[in-house]
Amino acid sequence: MHPVTAPPIEDGAVLVDAGGRIAAVGPHRHVPAPPGAETLEFPDAVLIPGLVNCHTHLELTHLAGKNAERQFAQWIRTIRTLKEATTPTEFSRSAEQGVRDGWAAGVTCVADTGSTGAPLGALARLEARGIYYQEVFGPDPAACGASLAELTAGVERLRPLASDRVRLGISPHAPYTVSEPLYRAVAEFARRERLPVALHLAESPEESQLVRDGAGPFAEALRARGIAVQAQHCSPVQYLSRLGVLQHATGFLYIHCVQVDAQDIAILRDSGGAVAHCPRSNRAHGHGVAPLAALCEAGLAVGLGTDSVVSAGDVSLWSEAAVAGLEGEETLRMLTIEGARALGLDGQIGSLEVGKQADLAVFPSTVLHRPPPPSTAVLTVVAGRVVHG
């Protein structure tokens, strides 16, 4: 057993109380077994905290393998077309399948971004754990009011589905889909409503080219729609900092952060936000390699995410860790307590400690030595309830 925040325990055991919390952790012989308690034993496996996936797009699960385009701007347009051809029922089924696929991979918490609301519904129905960020788009400054009104209506529609286990947040998508006034309005809305925020930031060279030079495929697409584009002569991170979006940004989740330098990293650190690192998606789209070591050395909370299965192919966080160059205990920490810290949930999940939520996963004993296939969790437990295995 690997509690993560304490040394490994040979022949370890965890006692889960009726409320779904961890009541005891230690060597099997020292952990009490109350009368009537159900006992599950896995002699040739390892018990660890449930994995935390810091960036997913559950509503796109049904699109796995359906977009071979790798030029990023065109890939996004293709995804939009495929989404427009998808019914609400299909989105709902897709999101549910995404949750279940995560459970089969030992994932007990996800941070999901989407535009349909279907992932929040799936998380709530399945009694899963996660944060759902409702996306907002609007690159035309003239449409800021309409975009904000649509977001506000969406948040109010989704609020009844939120709970202690399933949180609702918002996501101003990216610099190439969100105008300056909309960024400011959404940031103010989030602070006023005390909503967590996730945003794609510094993901691709094309995004940097748009912000810095006012050029490239994103700029061309915007101008083709009659939307003016101006060179900002700075990085995407510096751009959002100038807009005031990154002020008082505790609880913000910055997704990707590939195209960042030392100044950008300092801005992100000082903002109080965290980073979702998606190495396989970055590689698939040719975005480059995020400076993981520099982000961590700066003191930023960093968790790993699989992004959509359209990019990464599956929901294997172990494969993400391998591509990120992590090994052994370092991998385990990144997939559990560090992921929980990036989402502000490390007081509840991410390690096997008395009083925390009983989010657990059992894997073959070799899991820390080589990346397993995606669906290899022997058992997955969320808040004391067996959801897989």
pLDDT tens per residue across span 276-292: 999 999 999 999 999 99
Picking from 58, 70, 51, the residue whose alpha carbon sits closest to that of residue 283 is 70
Position 248 scores a pLDDT of: 83
Query: pLDDT at residue 66 above 90?
Result: no
Q: Which residues have a Cβ under 8 Å from the Cβ of 124 and sit 6 or more positions away?
A: 161, 162, 163, 166
pLDDT at 312: 83
Q: 114: which strand partners?
A: 134
Output DSSP code: residue 202: S
Average pLDDT over residues 345-366: 97
pLDDT band at 57 (very low <50, low <70, confident <90, very high): very high
Closest CA to 115 of 85, 94, 135, 95: 135
pLDDT tens digits for range 133-166: 999 999 999 999 999 999 999 999 999 999 999 9
Q: What value does the mean pLDDT take over residues 366-372?
A: 80
- What's the rounded mean pLDDT across residues 218-237? 97
Using alpha carbons only, how large is the chain's radius of gyration in Å? Answer: 21
- Residue 70 is predicted with a pLDDT of 67
Q: Helix count (H) and strand count (E) of the chain?
A: 15, 14
Q: Is the CB of residue 312 less than 8 Å from the CB of residue 65? A: no
Which is higher by pLDDT, 66 or 238?
238
Distance between CA atoms of 210 and 195, rounded to whole angstroms?
28
Continuous segment of H or E residues that includes residue 256: strand 252-256
Look at residue 374 and tell me whether its pLDDT is greater than 90: no
Domains of the chain: 12-388 (3.20.20.140)
Quick one: what percent of the chain has pLDDT higher than 70?
99
- What phi and psi values does residue 224 have, to the nearest 5 degrees? -65, -20
Alpha carbons 178 and 229: distance in angstroms, whole number: 12
Report DSSP letters for 13-76, one per residue.
EEEE-TTSBEEEEEEGGGS---TT------TTEEEEEPEEEEEE-GGGGGGTT-----SHHHHH
* DSSP strand pairing (107-114 vs 130-136): parallel
3 state SS of 94: helix
pLDDT at 335 over 90: yes
Tell whether the torsion through CA atoms of 313, 318, 321 and 326 is positive or negative. negative
Tell me what the pLDDT averaged over the chain comes to: 95
Least confident interval from 62-76, 139-153, 318-332: 62-76
Query: Quick check: pTM over 0.85?
Result: yes
Whether the predicted pLDDT of 81 surpasses 80: yes
